[in-house]
């Protein structure tokens, strides 16, 4: 009797984010270590730059963690200043702009794009100074097609969900 095995993945989305943060650290220019970084949703590069997916959100969450682990200060601007208690749970995060602060105390933004291609998912990220739009660090990677296929086949087991 043969057992079909899921492909063994060498990295998770978190692992790819770590690789990119390490790469960004190498080419970082003029970043004030006391400056705060707002991590934004990754967008499809082949869209009007307002298209996102579950992958977009997962990439942003992974970068938030990795930048923090690296020692940089991140701002979670999606955190409201109260806890909403409901039957579904207790929540502090929101995407409703009416529930968020009017201004965000951030010096920099991490932004990123991705593109689904035949050879995998091409991901690009950069840290930009908000006041000047100056790019201070960049990183890129390609998540191999094996990972994409695994996510599409086994979304509950992969720790990531992908929608094209």
Tell me the pLDDT tens digit for each residue of 12-63: 889 999 999 999 999 999 999 899 999 999 998 988 888 788 888 889 999 9
DSSP code at position 9: P
121 assigned to some structural domain: yes
- Count structural domains, the chain: 1
Give the domain extent around 49: 13-70+103-158
* Residue 91: pLDDT over 60: yes
87 assigned to some structural domain: no
The reported pLDDT for the residue numbered 118 is 83
- Arithmetic mean of pLDDT, 125-137: 96
Report d(CA 154, CA 164) in Å as an integer: 15
What CATH number corresponds to the domain at position 137?
Answer: 3.40.50.10610
Q: How do beta strands 36-39 and 120-129 pair?
A: unpaired
164 assigned to some structural domain: no
- Which band of pLDDT confidence, cut at 50, 70 and 90, is reported for residue 76? confident
* Residue 113: pLDDT over 90: yes
131 assigned to some structural domain: yes
**pTM, whole model, 2 decimals?**
0.78
């Amino acid at each position: 009797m043969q057992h079909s095995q899921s492909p063994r993945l060498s990295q998770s989305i978190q692992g790819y984010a770590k690789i990119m943060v390490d790469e960004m650290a190498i080419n970082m220019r003029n970043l004030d270590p006391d400056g705060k970084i707002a991590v934004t949703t990754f967008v499809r590069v082949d869209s009007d730059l307002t298209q996102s997916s579950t992958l977009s959100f997962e990439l942003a969450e992974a970068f938030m963690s990795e930048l923090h682990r690296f020692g940089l200060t991140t701002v979670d601007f999606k955190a409201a200043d109260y806890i909403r208690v409901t039957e579904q749970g207790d929540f502090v995060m929101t995407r409703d702009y009416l529930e968020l602060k009017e201004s965000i105390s951030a010096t920099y933004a991490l932004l990123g794009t991705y593109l689904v291609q035949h050879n995998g998912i091409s991901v690009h990220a950069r840290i930009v100074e908000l006041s000047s739009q100056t790019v201070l660090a960049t990183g890129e990677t390609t998540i191999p097609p094996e990972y994409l296929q695994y996510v599409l086949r086994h979304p509950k087991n992969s720790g990531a969900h992908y929608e094209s």
